[in-house]
Structure 1
Amino acid sequence: MRSAYDRTAEEDTSKVRLRVQTSAPGASETADGQGAVDLDAGDSVMALTVQGQRIEQRVVDQVLYQKMPQGQAQGGKPWIKIDLGKVAVQQGADERSMSDPAQSAAYAKAITDKDVTKKGTATIDGVETTHYRVSVDVAELPDGDRRQQVGPTLPMGVWLDEEGRMRRQQIDLTLKSAPGSMERSSTDASPSPQRLRVRTVTDFTDFGTEVEADAPPAGQVTDMTGKTLEQGKKQG
């Protein structure tokens, strides 16, 4: 199981389909996407649909670029960028990293020997796979210092083909509220912690596909890294 990511990355590139379901008390959101990813370098090109709006996304050299829907451009420029490396240093990979298929796939490298269960078989895109339910040791992840928020283990489903490559991955992430972020239950006057649940399902197909991930022209990009870091400080 721990070698699944390496065996998949040996294919260098893949087409991906992505679904991210985010839910919190009183609200939910689903994002769908498809594109291609360089599993070795981590670059990717995705087209995301969120609440009926299309977002073009690229990850190039650990920098996230997004072309926002018309009317939502920042600073009069169509693209925004966020330096994922700087954000990870401050607050670790959170639910935003779920839309980065290479980062998501790499979680398999943190699989432990505990709680590995064979669940059965399934056909995905015409390929026979074996389904495993595993627990990822959060301490082994890049954001392992966030164990107080996500718990000691992260449940994950992995579907492997006969060559041991990942064909589907499902991650169920539950984030506890940051200190001071509370809500009141409708049946109890005492405050209760708020939880954000994120389910990410990623399908990998067409290994060896071409990936062209280029940064947009600098004149068309607004750097939102500083604002993202500032928001992270307020939330944390």
Structure 2
Amino acid sequence: MRTSVRVPVGAGLAALLLAAGAVGCSKGDGSESPRMTPAAAVAKAAKNADDIDSIRYRMTGKVPENGRVEAEARTRIKPTFAMSMKMTAPDQGAAGTAEFRLVDKAVYIGGGPEAAKEMDGKSWIKIDLSELGMDEKVNKLIGASQAADKNPATESTFLTWSKDVEKVGTETVEGVKTTHYKGTVALADLEKSIGDEDEVVREERQKSLDRYEKMGADKLVMDMWVDGDDQTKQFRMRADADKGPLDLTFTFFGVNEPVEVAAPPAAEVADLAEMRKGAQQG
């Protein structure tokens, strides 16, 4: 049995982290306070992410090196954290399809038939977060994003640091009337914004910045579609990177709906820790 599977793990987990603290949709009518400036409207929508218990969303776009990506995902934040994402990277061929589940302090990565060929018929890899010392960190991150006075340290809040945020107009997204805002965010300005946040939130924000800097990007072009309840219905981020364009759009379909995530059948799962032990003994 091999100890690796060719699935877009990096892109998938990055997308999961990106969306974990993103804001969700609601039933607003697209109305907007005439006294609210574009910057204030964006800040209010970002802040409202704190009240979300669960979200369901779609992600489409391009990421450097992996090319096109498409995903459908569900995330439960309270009372316990869980995620489920089905992701496809069309430009990666058969190895570009994978499913991710985070439940009961473990991450399961499913690669389908391609993965089964490399793992004696097992199509899922299990990564125990407690063995990696990550379970407590995940708990702290979720707690910080829900309890902090300021916005969660996710890319969905970066538009609040734009110096040129503006209202584009009123648009309908998936049948919901929204107000479209747009702005450019320099990574240097985001770097300066890291300061008095919670330690875990600050660490996650720094990791996000480091990821973009490694891509060779120096700024992000961001769009946000906000509904009449001051919630984000859609969010887009773009950047010119050294290894190709970054262009991701998140569209939200549900907020605070029941989300159940189950671990795959045990017979279909290969435990990464056991695989490593076997490799060491070998």
Give me the TM-score of the superposition, normalised by structure 1: 0.64
- Total equivalences in the alignment: 189
The CA deviation at 1:158 is 0.9
Unaligned runs of 5+ in 2: 1-41, 138-151, 195-204, 277-282
Aligned to 1:7, what secondary structure does the other structure show?
Answer: helix
Output one character per residue of 1:104-161: Cα deviation in whole Å (capped at 9) or x when no partner: 9931333315121211121111111111113344424232345643444322111111
Q: Corresponding residue for 1:2? A: 43
Q: Give the aligned partner of residue 157 of structure 2.
A: 109
Per-residue CA deviations over 1:59-87 (Å, capped at 9, x if unaligned) read 3478543210203235333113566997x
Are 2:119 and 1:55 equivalent residues in the alignment?
no
Amino acid at match of 1:33: A
Once superposed, what is the RMSD of the aligned Cα atoms? 3.5
Q: Quick check: 1:116–1:133 contact (8 Å CA) kept in 2? A: yes
Aligned-pair identity (%): 25
| Aligned with 2:272 (options 206, 223, 234) | 223
Tell me, what secondary structure is at the counterpart of 1:72?
Answer: helix
TM-score (norm 2): 0.55
Contact 2:156/2:235, CA 8 A, preserved across alignment: no
Matched, 1:44 2:83: yes
Q: 1:197 aligns with which of 245, 266, 276?
A: 245
**Given residue 75 of structure 1, which amino acid in structure 2 is its aligned partner?**
M
Distance (whole Å) between structure 2 residues aligned to residue 161 and residue 61 of structure 1: 34
* Greater strand proportion: 1
Aligned partner of 1:168: which letter?
Answer: Q
Structure 1 or 2, whichever has the larger Rg, is: 2
* Distance in structure 2 (CA, Å) of the matches to 1:37 and 1:204: 11
Structure 2 distance, partners of 1:145, 1:23, is 15
Change in CA separation of 1:209 and 1:175 when aligned onto 2, cut-off 3 Å: same
